[in-house]
Structure 1
Amino acid sequence: MRHFLATAALGALLIGALPINSFAETPKDQLVVATTMSNILTLDPAAITGRETVQVLNNTYDTLVILSPEDRSIQPRLAERWEVAEDRMSIRFHLRSDAKFESGNAVTAQDVAWSLKRLLVRNLAQSSFLKTRGYKVENADKLFVAENDNTFVLNLPQPDDPSLLLMILAQNGPGSIIDSKTALANEKDGDLGASWLTLNSAGSGPFKLTQWKSNEFIILTRNDDYWGEKPAMKRVLMRHLPESQSQRLMLEKGDIDVAYSLQAPDLRSLEADKDIAIESTPGSGFYYLSVSMKDERFANKKVREALRYLIDYEGLDKAIMPYYGKLHQRPISTGFLGALPDEGYKLDIEKAKALLAEGGFPNGFKTTLRVLSEDPFMKAATAIQNTLAQAGIQAEIISGSGDQIYGAMRERKFELLLGRGGGGQQPHPDNNLRSIAYNPNNADDAKLTNYQGWRTSFYDEKLNKMIEDALLERDIAKQGKLYEDIQTYMDEIVMSIQPFSEVVDTAAFRSDVKGMIVSPWLSRFESISKDR
């Protein structure tokens, strides 16, 4: 706590606020946000990982289109309008004529083409969004075409659903439009400006990156030449404050405006505070129990089916998952096209025992359960360990960091694993299914680590084809029915991943902060004002 008070004082001075002894209320035109920055390793749009970094880019870079925070519909941003070709093999974007980068350079279609090609050339984390749709460096110049300064054409390399491409382009990272002139002016050894972009911004967003000190703070300053409505906040100070209790105390005092990393006990303690608002919103993906199909016990369909009845869905939902997730058992996110109601699985020890006996394990067996060593993962894993034991499955918990737990999954060296994932960043069923079920090549050397189907060694050729066919169906009603059929089939074959909760994002903020968008994937500080 002492360390934070010292760094908060530094932050106050950096943004021109009051000294710490009078920092009981943040300035009206400055927003102070507490979050966790451990995953912010670079601010180069091509190389970022994690939702926290997307949140920073949402305020410094524009995309061609954005997703509405209200209903996740596709809305204009740098592109005023667009048309999908009759054959669905191209999308023509008409750019705003008044948009400028923070450098003063005009935003052009050439910048759009360069930004997307750069993504493939850099071949880092964010390139996977385009690579999985068939885009390659070799065909980039034919697929990313600037017809003139204000008209950009995205050609599709293979049949696809154009709406899904639009959703990908709406996400900062794969969709960030970079000032090519500024990036190339700061190029070193052919890195396309990568070193410079790690610590600097070259976007057209409502804020500019003023300073970033790793695992301490990020300062964003209002871009007064922004093409859109001028933000009410002159500056935004994002603080690295991973301790939940410290965030709560600072929020109660008014030393911070927004807390993004609060744990459930601290959120509960704030519920009765009239000066604090708490909001949860649909996030991306699911909390799930997964098995490795490399293990002959879990390759047994009866064993996987038994596991369905060894999760206390309702108990987890009430006791552990508030603020983190809500009960959900299907592989498609709520509100997406074709999403079906839950199957209605409940904890049923006797049914699970009968299924284990049918599968050849009347006395259960010993196994390991890998899990992140943090909430809510550990609490959920402990609860599932208990219900597994009631049916004779003795699961030893192995906890650790993300690299240790998901690393084992990426190497296909695990037995049971409680995790979080399953897509959902793009509000399209294909995004869920490609992540959680699709696996085009089950060979070990395929290394398809982006696919959780591959990670769990699950392969079903019929399911792959069903997913591919549904993506290409043009009739929305028929497409929705195909996605319903896929879920029914997945229920029949008993997947290697069983969701038990759908991720929600939760934040607490001072009640006089207006215009908050809680989801880090969609959050933009340009809409925020303070009613004081």
Structure 2
Amino acid sequence: MHTPALCRRHLLSLAATLATAATLALAPAATRADTPADQLVIGFSMNNLLSLDPANATGLDVAEIFANVYDTLVVLDPANPRQVQPGLAERWQIAADGKSLRFTLRKGASFHSGNPVTADEAAWSLQRVVKLNLALATVWKSYGFSKENVEKFIRAEDAQTLVVELPEPGDARLVLYTLATSVSAVVLDRKTVMANEKGLDMGAAWLINHTAGSGAFKLDEWRAKEVLLASRFEGYWRGPAKLRRIVWRHMSESQSLRLMLERGDLDVATGMAPPDIEALKSHPKIRTQAVQRGTIYYVAAQSKDGPFADKRVRLALRHLIDYEGLNKTVMPHFGVLNQRPVQLGLAATLPQPGYTLDVARAKALLAQAGFPNGFKTTIRAVAEPPFTHIATNLQATLAQAGIEASILTGTGNLVYGAMRDRRFDLIVGRGGGGTEPHAYSSLRSLVYNPDNSDAAKLTNFQGWRTGFQSTALNELVDKALLEPREDRQVKLFQDAQRLYEQEVGGIQPVSQMVETVLLRSDVQGYQSHPSATTRLHGVSKQR
């Protein structure tokens, strides 16, 4: 039997081996060996990976990890994200009136601890998110759930039956999509979590760097901005994964990713800069895989006070972004042009408005707003591509209109933390509800703001973060959500986009995310998911 100390030493030894691999990457290629045949080593940036608590783990970086160490009731087909497939729930039904969903959980699924997965754990997991009221509670609150009513509306009728009732009129399809894609929808092992509760935190402190799931892999160790190790769960209900271990390595430097992938020190790499991707396209042992995601790159302006509170200044900003230049030179392999706050490809998405860089128009607007000579401001951006490149480009175009912008780079916590506190000028960010293939998801995330007070703390509404609010826009979005006829709903969502354009919201979309993954040719069965929930259960290596 392994003692905790021995297990710890084993993990540290493994981590040391990985660190050695990084050093050996500088050695001649002839001395290098490929990664182990039973392990998948993934290089990606962990800059935005701040917590492993499903109630508070924001950003795309955590989605893939959660998709492998946890399970959700349902999942989305990676080839057709509008198609819902079984997960822990083997079947489900939306009530005829659209006011509730009933899930039948499969028998025989167990957590990593050995505890059985039941509807009680599924209900408690969702209730916990709402009760803690941290970042990931926002989406559930938007459906009408609250601390006071969540136990009434999300409940287990028996060990295998979970009922989710909508407290307010809404679209049950959207709730189903959220249950399939949101980090907040994973099912937790209640007994394990509560055994580590401190005070009344429902295990929140413990879950920052631990997991309690039923996924194909179980967490061994996570060291922030270094490495996350997960090993195969032999008791997984779908059957054991093909690989014994997954190693996620923190790597934010594109050239390091490229070098290590070339030499075989990595099996998979994401976040690589376009020049390095292009350089590897002809590599005989590397292939690329690109998938369009609903998440949107944007420039956000703090619209509550300061210069950008003036609609004319925000309109000037709209004319000081070089959309064409950015999408031709910076965004290849990162994104495709999208100037709308709704992801591409949906029935409700309007044609592009055709915004262009127009410095003369911007100068005239600034003069009308009382800034004929411009002003000083700051641009915050996560310290990695493409954010820094977009910020640098924006800094140059702002200067053409007399706006002197300083760039402040840092971790996701520094950048998005300032945005959540509403203490920023401009931010180059990435967001939107794009994991859910529904127009309301994007609009809710990027433009909807039902309460603009600081006390509301609607931090997961990026519209609230900017301080921009339009009562008429909110009403349109709400009305669209409740419209049962699809053709009418599409029209209302389109009207909402037109109104947002007229009122010049605080977030200006620039590009829609494309995730370009580079893989060693011996990696089989890897399929990047549009919702970022890429599952590795069926991945193997052919050597």
Instruction: Give the aligned partner of residue 537 of structure 2.
Output: 526
Which residues of 2 match residues 183-202 of structure 1 at below 5 A? Answer: 183-202=193-212
CA RMSD of aligned residues (A): 2.7
Letter of the 2:276 partner, please give it. Answer: D
* TM-aligned CA distance change 1:302 to 1:196, over 3 Å: closer
Q: Which residue of 2 aligns with 1:271?
A: 281
Relative distance call for 1:196 and 1:321 in structure 2 (3 A) is: same
CA shift in 2, pair 1:141/1:389, >3 Å: closer
- Structure 2 distance, partners of 1:257, 1:102, is 26
Give the 5 Å matches for 1:45-60: 45-60=54-69
* 1:488 CA displacement: 1.8
Counterpart amino acid of residue 29 in structure 1 = D
Cα displacement (A) at 1:219:
2.1
- Determine the structure 1 residue equivalent to 2:17: 10
Q: CA deviation at 1:185?
A: 4.1
> Which deviations, in whole Å up to 9, do the C-alpha atoms of 1:12-37 show, x marking residues without a partner?
999xxxxx997621233221112233
Query: Structure 1 residues 380, 13: closer, same or farther in 2, change over 3 A?
Result: closer
Task: Give secondary structure in 1 for the equivalent of 2:517.
Answer: strand
Quote the residue 2:122 is aligned against: 112
Q: Deviations over 1:54-100 (max 9, x none)?
A: 22121111100112212212221111111111222211101112322
Instruction: Answer whether contact 2:51 2:209 (CA < 8 A) is retained.
Output: yes
Aligned partner of 1:260 in structure 2 is 270
2:408 counterpart of 1:399: yes
Counterpart of 1:330 in structure 2 is: 340
The CA deviation at 1:190 is: 4.7
SS of the equivalent of 1:138 reads coil
Which residues of 2 match residues 154-173 of structure 1 at below 5 A?
A: 154-173=164-183
2:389 alignment counterpart: 379
Q: How many matched pairs?
A: 520
Q: Percent identity?
A: 45
Matching of residue 367 in structure 1 with residue 376 in structure 2: yes
**1:195-234 equivalent positions in 2, closer than 5 A:** 195-234=205-244
Following superposition of structure 1 onto structure 2, how do residues 132-147 of structure 1 map, counting pairs within 5 Å?
132-147=142-157
1:513 is aligned, of 499, 513, 523, to 523
* Distance change in 2, residues 1:447/1:197 (3 Å): closer
Q: Is the 8 A contact 1:371 1:399 kept in 2?
A: yes
CA contact (8 A) 2:449 2:463 kept: yes
Residue 489 (structure 2) pairs with residue 479 (structure 1): yes
Counterpart residue identity of residue 51, structure 1: L
Q: Deviation at 1:237?
A: 1.8
Deviates more, 1:334-343 or 1:510-519: 510-519
Shift of 1:7: 7.3
Unmatched runs of 5 consecutive residues or more in structure 1 = 1-5, 15-19
Secondary structure in 2 matching 1:365: coil
| Pair 1:129-2:139 in alignment | yes
Letter in 1 for 2:539: I
Match of 2:33 in 1: 24
Q: Displacement of 1:297 after TM fit? A: 4.6
- Matching residue of 1:427: 437
Superposed displacement of residue 263, structure 1: 2.7
The equivalent of 1:17 in structure 2 is: none
CA contact (8 A) 2:38 2:243 kept: yes
Give yes or no for the alignment of 1:468 onto 2:475. Answer: no
Q: What's 2:100 paired with?
A: 90
Secondary structure at 1:525 match in 2? coil
Which residue of 76, 85, 89 maps to 1:75?
Answer: 85
Residue from 149, 158, 179 that aligns with 1:148: 158
Distance change (3 Å), C-alpha of 1:527 and 1:304: same
**Greater mean alpha carbon deviation, residues 457-466 or residues 43-52:** 43-52
Distance 2:522 2:86 in 1: 29
Q: 8 Å contact 1:99–1:226 — kept in the other structure?
A: yes
In structure 1, the partner of 2:320 is 310
Q: SS at 2:375's partner residue?
A: strand
Unaligned runs of 5+ in 2: 1-12, 22-26
TM value normalised by structure 1: 0.89
TM-score (norm 2): 0.88
* Bigger mean CA deviation after superposition, 200-209 or 456-465: 200-209
